[in-house]
Amino acid sequence: MLGPQGSGKGTQAERLCAFFGAPHIEIGEMIRAEIAAGTELGHDLQRYNDRGELVPDAIVLGAVKPLVAQARSWILDGFPRTMAQAETLDALLTGENADLDGVIGLEAPDDVLIARLAGRRYSEATGKLYHLTANPPPPDDPGPFVQRADDTPENIKRRLQIYHTETEPLMTYYAERGLLHRVNAAASVDDVYGAILTALLAID
Ligand code: AMP
């Protein structure tokens, strides 16, 4: 799943994983869990996270490689985010005689994303992300619901800038290989999900 912050990667990936019965590999969540555990690595990661910057490729790749190698199918959410990560993923898959089935490219204008991120809330109990109006927490999630530390206006701006320079070029990279399915992420959660499912189910 490719897409900027606030495009709904996590929300959509969760639904898709339930539908396809595939594991959800979510790097941002792994990073937040490490920070919450208070490990030495978590301490280092917090510095990047709090500034809204990407974690160095070597750390991310070390965490992702075994997960990708472990299962035959998965939904990758928030990875790859740099060309180096995409190239390493390709090398890893080639080594396993595997390939990506498809890449979903979620697209929405920055002003829509900024408005969405402002209403985003994180459950301290379950680690799940919700939106106050578009995707409110279900009754079985006790919360409390807090704003993510990296969802400050200043960080949001920086993260979107980094997205445009570091990650957006991957859309072209996958489009050139015929793998990219662009989806309008400014639509409702249900409509975005419908568009993604239609694209994925049409793949041979
Ligand atoms: P997310 O929940 O996907 O918005 O990720 C939260 C934070 O984790 C990002 O702002 C980065 O600091 C870090 N992160 C997540 N995925 C990656 C990645 N593929 N490469 C580098 N840093 C990442």
Residue by residue, what is the 3-state secondary structure of 16-28? HHHHHCCCEEEHH
pLDDT on residue 106: 98
Q: 181 forms bridges with which residues in the sheet?
A: 104
Distance 204 CA to ligand 1 centre (A): 31
Residue identified by tokens 């075994």 is 66
What tokens appear for 173 in the block? Answer: 């990279």
Amino acid present at 86? A
Alpha-carbon gap, residue 42 to 45, rounded angstroms = 5
Alpha-carbon gap, residue 34 to 181, rounded angstroms = 32
Each residue's pLDDT tens digit, 135-162: 899 999 998 999 887 888 888 999 999 9
Distance 54 CA to ligand 1 centre (A): 6
Alpha-carbon gap, residue 119 to 135, rounded angstroms = 10
9, 15, 32, 121: the active-site residue: 9
Closest CA to ligand 1's atom 8: 28
121 C-beta closer than 6 A to ligand 1: no
3-state secondary structure of 146: strand
Each residue's pLDDT tens digit, 61-109: 998 988 888 888 899 999 999 999 999 999 999 988 888 999 999 999 9
Each residue's pLDDT tens digit, 170-202: 999 999 999 999 999 999 999 999 999 999 999
